[in-house]
Amino acid sequence: MPTERKENIVAQLSGDLARSTLVVLTDYRGITMKELTTVRRNLEKAGVAYHVVKNTLLRLALGEDVSAQLAAYLQGPTALATAFEDPVAGAKAMSEQVAAYTQIKVKGGWMEGQIVSPERLQELAALPPRPVLLSQLVGTVQGPIAHLVGGLSAVMQQLLYVLQQRAEQAPTAEAAPEAA
């Protein structure tokens, strides 16, 4: 029979999962409590929450459809990392902690309703941060436009040069018929 405390944990997990942009499931066996606290603090700086959860409570929070897909990952001790803002920043922060604390093993995760393998999480962590990606996008869009503007400007400058040359030639052409 579920206790009120467990129901509250499931409700909080459900809320966190609903608003998260990235969820990473890890195995934390072999890490000390002091190290786990350090990992939590480091991840909090990046906007990632890291909690040890019971697999049964996590299954309840996920619901039947998602927990069936994640059943392979919900074996053994599980800690849950949830990123609430930028998923790339969350993946980077988690990747840094896994590199620093080799006892932590990434089981898998999900992002935007799709299961993500540990390899895909590594690829996600290798992406540049969101501001860099946005600036690259702006540069890609801006490049052809700037080239077009430069080309049109050059055409206008050539037209002005031709008109200026014509204007300089016009007075000498009018002066010649008067002299004759």
Model pLDDT for residues 52-104, shown as the tens digit of each residue: 989 888 888 887 766 667 777 888 898 999 998 888 888 899 999 999 988 99
> What's the mean pLDDT in 37-47?
91
More confident residue, 149 or 180: 149
Residue 134 confidence class, pLDDT cut points 50, 70, 90: confident
**Record: fold of 4-127:** Alpha-Beta Plaits (3.30.70)
- The answer to pTM > 0.75 is no
Per domain, the residue ranges of the chain are: 4-127, 130-180
Sheet containing strand 105-111, edge to edge, reads: 48-53, 78-83, 22-27, 105-111, 114-116
Query: d(Cα 168, Cα 28) in Å, to the nearest integer?
Result: 83
Burial class for 54, CB neighbours closer than 10 Å (0-12, 13-18, 19+): middle
More confident residue, 82 or 150: 82
- What is the token pair recorded at 151? 């080309």
The H-or-E segment that residue 51 falls in is: strand 48-53
